[in-house]
């Protein structure tokens, strides 16, 4: 990882705004990925040392699990923009060049649809309007809706679980933005940007 910017794309209007938003988001994700990798390495090393000395710290295990979860979702979002998501090319490689372009647009559109669906699901699940109407009283909200999201806490850290679950709506929004940026390029509304700051060792794996 070197520079974390995306080469500017000269395109006016909404397409340029989407690409710029995706570029800024990707830069933040790059820093977050490095931060969580550093944190996870430190937690694992600390866990080994404390267990070896016979003084284990039990909350380290839970911290490591949640660090992996956040790292996974942030990395998956970045992979969407980097076009490193999994693809089965057994059918598309037999299509014409135009057919492959259409198939790619359909696949990218499905990513956007999935992202929007996940945003809607997170909105219904977390119900920010409902918790606000309850005066941000978790118990009152749970009594009214039977949604106990805001009353649950983690086992060892005793953190509110809703704070850890925020990675889901964050991932949904970021993946949707990256999907829209990819779709802008696939539709020919802007030339394909050169992604910088990520070492792509397998160029053939980039869609």
Q: What is the widest separation between alpha-carbon atoms in the chain?
A: 64
In a domain, 63, yes or no: yes
Give, in degrees to the nearest 5, the angle at Cα 20 between 18 and 24.
Answer: 115
Q: How wide is the angle at C-alpha 155 spanned by C-alphas 154 and 161, nearest 5°?
A: 10
Q: What pLDDT digit, counting tens, does each position of 3-57 carry? A: 444 444 445 588 889 999 999 999 999 999 999 999 999 999 999 999 888 888 8
Phi and psi dihedrals of 153, rounded to 5?
Answer: -135, 155
User: How far apart are alpha carbons 102 and 118 in whole angstroms?
Assistant: 24
* Residue 201 resides in a domain: no
The pLDDT value given to residue 201? 55
Q: Which pLDDT score is estimated for 207? A: 55
pLDDT for res 96? 83
Confirm if 78 and 177 have CB atoms less than 8 A apart.
no
Which pLDDT does position 11 carry in this prediction?
A: 55
Of 153, 156, 146, 136, residue with least CA distance to 47:
156
In a domain, 93, yes or no: yes
Which one-letter DSSP state was computed for residue 204? G
Domain of residue 65 covers 14-191
- Residue 7 in domain: no
| Number of folded domains that form the chain | 1
Contact 64, 47 (CB under 8 A): yes
Q: Is residue 140 part of a domain?
A: yes
Phi, psi of 160 (to 5 degrees): -65, 130
Q: Which residues of the chain have pLDDT under 50?
A: 1-10, 203-205
pLDDT of 200: 63
Separation of alpha carbons 171 and 51, rounded Å: 34
pLDDT of residue 8: 43
Quick check: is 198 in a domain?
no
Task: List Cα–Cα distances, 165 to 134, 148, 157, in angstroms.
Answer: 20, 13, 15
Q: State in Å, rounded, how far the first CA of the chain is from the last one.
A: 20
Residue 8 within a domain: no
Q: What is the pTM of this model?
A: 0.85
CB atoms under 10 Å from CB of 200, counted, come to 12
Packed helices 14-52 and 167-186: angle between N→C axes, nearest 10 degrees: 140
Instruction: Return d(Cα 14, Cα 67) in angstroms, integer.
Output: 35
Cα gap 176→116, rounded to integer Å: 7
| Cα pseudo-dihedral 99, 105, 107, 110, rounded to 10 | -140
In a domain, 24, yes or no: yes
């Amino acid at each position: 990882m070197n520079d974390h910017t995306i080469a500017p794309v000269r395109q006016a209007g909404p397409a340029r705004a989407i690409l710029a938003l995706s570029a800024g988001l990707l830069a933040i994700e790059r820093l977050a990925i490095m931060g969580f990798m550093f944190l996870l390495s430190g937690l694992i090393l600390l866990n080994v040392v404390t267990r070896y000395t016979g003084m284990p710290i039990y909350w380290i295990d839970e911290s490591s699990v949640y660090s992996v979860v956040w790292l996974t979702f942030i990395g998956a979002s970045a992979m969407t923009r980097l076009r490193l998501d999994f693809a089965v090319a057994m059918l598309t490689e037999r299509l014409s060049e135009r057919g492959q372009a259409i198939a790619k647009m359909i696949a990218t559109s499905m990513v956007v649809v999935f992202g929007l669906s996940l945003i809607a699901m997170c909105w219904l699940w977390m119900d920010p309007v409902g918790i606000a109407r309850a005066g941000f009283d978790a118990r009152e909200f749970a009594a009214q809706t039977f949604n106990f999201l805001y009353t649950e806490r983690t086992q060892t850290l005793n953190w509110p679980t809703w704070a850890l679950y925020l990675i889901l709506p964050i991932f949904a929004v970021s993946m949707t933005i990256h999907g829209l940026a990819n779709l802008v390029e696939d539709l020919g509304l802007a030339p394909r940007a050169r992604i910088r700051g990520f070492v792509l060792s397998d160029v053939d794996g980039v869609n």
